[in-house]
Structure 1
């Protein structure tokens, strides 16, 4: 490595680490659900929307940049390219700007306008494809054409984060739960886009010898549920219509063996649960958080029926302000899935415990 290259690398890593030191940890929210609480069951959401770029993917983007830098894949002036449904691209655009690097996001044309505008705000630009399955080849080609680097979150997410600790999301969860009534959760529920978060949490649970079990909530149309049942990595599916989670193909970062259970969630229920959280939290959340809540409620009702007590912990993945023109627009939802009123009534009934 030349002196000039080493100097730029050291500056880049230092800038990312300094940015991390400027950011506080994300909050843990106890959901006010007395119907469950009186039966000894407590539900929590870790609020990842409070990251500087507004979503869980801020953690992944930081890890991917450090991984690429320390592997020697990013150089001064390199164009960074990523295949994304939006949130990872927003966060990677932030870190690319921090390092003074050009950034291109390859996103499906259906990506919310709010996310597209945020990518542009951080200095990135979007390259649109028609289908989610088209992002991979397009991103590889753009990286080749620009002489840049394809970050490839779907391959590297599960290995870019240190799952043993080092301020990862799992370690933060357990530290924040330390003074709760049930400090070691009976279940952690997450969604999967790349599979990086579920891999990090699943490995951490085993490394720390916790009895906590891991459930992945998978949206309708995603391939992960079928893959978890069969182990057939060649499977494909139509693809998720819940932005940020679910995939049409089995991704390299999805580690099936660390997941104890998968719950497949209909789209109408994801949207209904997303809406039902607004009066509980006093603000909007994104649709993947709704998917998580549906799975949490199913497990919580099973626990109550079986006379079990304990805590369940999941993620508030991003803010609902990213979806004002889509998932939070009743007219848009009706054109996609029809009237979700019955599903919302069902979720609100479940929230009563």
Structure 2
């Protein structure tokens, strides 16, 4: 009989230590806050923001990056010295670079040449290297090519996001939300509202509420130039688009493998100008800036709050504050940037002002 060992004691020791390092980092980090958004008490509807900007790398993607690294380590795909590659120009790459540096691994983010200098700087500050391609659609294949060339591992957030997270619990975002709601007036919210980039967050929440036998419904908001909404509405998972989303972190030109449409109860298409009008509106209310995807989330959440009011249904709505607005000072908060893209916020600002004053929302076609 012939025996072949594929994993030495040294390799296994390194992997065990890598898992310990990541788990220790999680153990040092407090859970993110669930913040009440100020609405008139007479409405008898509560709105909450799960503030994911307080993670060490400043965004919701910190959870995903941790899960992807643990998934790859426990599958034997990452060992000592393995170059780690990801197709990302945004917050996911920032968070993954953080964990790669923690483990002493080289990290390469594959991104379009059009990626903002601010995002490149954030990735490089965490020790990552940025590798540029000419067209956004090239990031997937180039990531695979680099992984083969360098004998590395392609994390592939768009495929593995829904696989890497334990949707039954284990301190995932869904479990955290419901634990933090336990003492609120409406501990089982009527709606949870999220955007979709990989689709991993919506898959985790949608599965969790079914597993826990909860009546909470899941709404997914989708920005312009993203195919998720139309593909879900028309049941066409092969749908693609040539354009990319202007709302960083959500929206895709194709339906990613981690997007599980069957767990979603409603999808809401949100104009980009509405998302950006919302973040400026929210800055006045909260006294802080938030990112564009939070604006998309809140536009959908406000609409659902108005529906609860219109039907005289007390309850609560929860959405995510995905990241802070400091990353977007030269884009979403820059009037010249908006003008160059013909984004007129004023009609949407009027909708928001009317909502907060009267609790009503314009009828959608």
Describe the superposition over 1:282-316 as per-residue Cα deviations: whole angstroms up to 9, x where unpaired.
11000000000110111111111111110000000
Cα distance in 2 between the residues matched to 1:79 and 1:337: 41
**Residue aligning to 2:115:** 111
Describe the superposition over 1:178-237 as per-residue Cα deviations: whole angstroms up to 9, x where unpaired.
111111100000000000000000000000001000000000111100111122221112
The answer to whether 1:244 aligns with 2:249 is yes
**Residue aligning to 1:18:** 24
**Residue aligning to 2:336:** 331
Structure 1 stretch displaced more, 189-198 or 239-248: 239-248
Normalization by structure 2: what TM-score? 0.94
**Residue aligning to 1:256:** 261
**Residue aligning to 2:63:** 59
Deviation at 1:109, TM superposition (A): 3.0
Q: Are the aligned partners of 1:268 and 1:337 in contact in 2 as well (CA < 8 Å)?
A: no
Structure 1 portions without partners, runs of 5+: none
Task: Describe the shift of the 1:65–1:346 C-alpha distance in structure 2 as closer, same or farther (beyond 3 A).
Answer: same
Q: Are the aligned partners of 2:89 and 2:119 in contact in 1 as well (CA < 8 Å)?
A: no
Normalization by structure 1: what TM-score? 0.97
**Residue aligning to 2:303:** 298
Cα distance in 2 between the residues matched to 1:4 and 1:192: 40
Describe the superposition over 1:10-40 as per-residue Cα deviations: whole angstroms up to 9, x where unpaired.
1100000000011000001100111xx3121
The answer to whether 1:47 aligns with 2:55 is no
Return the match for 1:309 from 309, 314, 326.
314
1:224-235 → structure 2 map (5 Å cutoff): 224-235=228-239
Describe the superposition over 1:133-158 as per-residue Cα deviations: whole angstroms up to 9, x where unpaired.
22111111111221111000000000
Cα distance in 2 between the residues matched to 1:49 and 1:172: 15
Structure 2 portions without partners, runs of 5+: 1-6, 360-365
> Hey, which bits of structure 1, 4+ residues long, moved more than 6 A?
none
Task: Give secondary structure in 2 for the equivalent of 1:105.
Answer: strand
Cα distance in 1 between the residues matched to 2:297 and 2:342: 19
Deviation at 1:338, TM superposition (A): 3.1
Q: Are the aligned partners of 1:112 and 1:326 in contact in 2 as well (CA < 8 Å)?
A: no
Q: Are the aligned partners of 1:334 and 1:340 in contact in 2 as well (CA < 8 Å)?
A: no
Cα distance in 1 between the residues matched to 2:46 and 2:89: 32
Deviation at 1:177, TM superposition (A): 0.7
Cα distance in 1 between the residues matched to 2:217 and 2:273: 26
Return the match for 2:323 from 310, 318, 326.
318
**Residue aligning to 1:348:** 353
Larger Rg: 2
Cα distance in 2 between the residues matched to 1:121 and 1:171: 32
Q: Are the aligned partners of 1:193 and 1:244 in contact in 2 as well (CA < 8 Å)?
A: yes
Cα distance in 2 between the residues matched to 1:338 and 1:70: 46
Q: Are the aligned partners of 2:82 and 2:151 in contact in 1 as well (CA < 8 Å)?
A: yes
Task: Give secondary structure in 1 for the equivalent of 2:341.
Answer: helix
Deviation at 1:130, TM superposition (A): 3.5
> May I ask how many residue pairs the two structures share in their alignment?
351
Cα distance in 2 between the residues matched to 1:211 and 1:308: 14
Higher-RCO chain (CA-CA 8 Å, sequence separation at least 6): 1
Cα distance in 1 between the residues matched to 2:304 and 2:286: 21
1:150-299 → structure 2 map (5 Å cutoff): 150-237=154-241, 238-299=243-304
Deviation at 1:341, TM superposition (A): 2.7
Cα distance in 1 between the residues matched to 2:175 and 2:275: 27
Cα distance in 1 between the residues matched to 2:268 and 2:113: 28
1:94-109 → structure 2 map (5 Å cutoff): 94-109=98-113
